[in-house]
Amino acid sequence: MNDLTHVNRQGRARMVDVSAKDATLRRARAAGKVLMAPSTLELVRTGGTKKGDVLAVAQVAGIQAAKHCWELVPMCHQVALTGVDISFSLEEDGVAVEVVCTCRGETGVEMEALCAASVAGLTIYDMCKAHQRDMVIADVRLLEKDGGKSGHFVREDGR
């Protein structure tokens, strides 16, 4: 009837059945950024926020988000993640976040990686909001995914 995979013949939402798919190694890489003032960035760098180590808390929050993505995004499958790695880069205009998620399964881990990048960014915002309220969580995006029938995807602009 249509090309949307999450819509049934009646036009209603459904969770796609992946039981006939082969379990393969799946990997996804996502990123985002929290834009902030230099003074806020300096607090992150030096551990000077009132709430503690911003990046340590954001690291754990991002991992938790990847593990619980299926509970937050209605049509996501529960995925048995085999790895979640989050890295941060302190840049001139803020904190860049990059996430890599892996699993061996019937469906990909793009949503888990995107969820982790988003929640890590939200956590950085939460940890720094007493100092700056106008931070911006920006550019959450899929950078790369591999595995499964659709193969390897790399974002064209590489960023």
Tokens of 114: 């995107």
The reply, when asked if residue 15 is annotated as ligand binding, is no
Catalytic residue among 85, 126, 134, 157: 126
The reply, when asked if residue 106 is annotated as ligand binding, is no
The reply, when asked if residue 135 is annotated as ligand binding, is no
The reply, when asked if residue 92 is annotated as ligand binding, is no
Count the Cβ atoms, other than its own, within 10 Å of residue 80: 10
Are the CB atoms for 117 and 30 separated by under 8 Å?
Answer: yes
The reply, when asked if residue 112 is annotated as ligand binding, is yes
Residue whose C-alpha is closest to residue 144's, from 102, 112, 110: 110
Give the contacts of 27 (CB within 8 A, at least 6 positions apart): 100, 101, 102, 109, 144, 145, 146, 147
Say whether 126 is catalytic. yes
Annotated binding-site ranges: 75-77, 111-112
Active site residues: 126
Q: Which residues are annotated as a binding site for substrate?
A: 75-77, 111-112
